[in-house]
Amino acid sequence: MAITVSIELNRDIRIPGSFDDVFALLANVPESASHFPKVNQLIELGDEIYRWEMAKVGVDKYSIQSVYACKYVADKEAGKITWTPVKGEGNGVVKGSWTLTSEDAGTTRARFQTSAVLTLPLPGLLKLAISPVIKHEFNSLVDTYMANLKKAF
């Protein structure tokens, strides 16, 4: 039995770095991922495709791990970095984008949007209890990621 959890996140942050520097960091997937918490492994599959294997969370038979792969496309002229899901990789389908704009005084505005659908091997009865916990954890990870990116500059 499995449950499906859908998550959508939007963040709008200002990073104290130039557009070129911020774009370079975010377009470099391994470098960007190094600022994301609880990544167990990031595996390069070639052609700008990466598989994310997150750390397991939970206890005993109720521990879960999110695994998914995305293809990344960076368009510096448009100020956009997008990721689209790769079918057949893991238990998650994740897509999203960064949209960057240069602001005054060497600051870059970064808009982050992502959506994820995770299929987890848990009994259906747990969906009502576990879904808010998973969404909270995902929000917390992304908030830490945003803070880590700001610290990088």
If one counts the domains in the chain, the total is: 1
Q: What is the extent of the structural domain holding 65?
A: 3-151
- Half-sphere exposure (CA, 13 Å, Cβ side) for 148? 16
Buried b vs exposed e over 105-126: b needs ≥16 C-beta within 10 Å?
Answer: eebbbbebebebbbebebeeee
What's 17's domain CATH number? 3.30.530.20
pTM score:
0.92
pLDDT tens-digit map of 59-98:
666 678 899 999 999 999 999 999 999 999 999 999 999 9
Mean pLDDT along residues 101-114: 95
Predicted pLDDT at 134:
85
pLDDT digit string, tens, across residues 136-145: 889 999 999 9
pLDDT tens figures, 3-42: 899 999 999 999 999 999 999 999 999 999 999 999 999 9
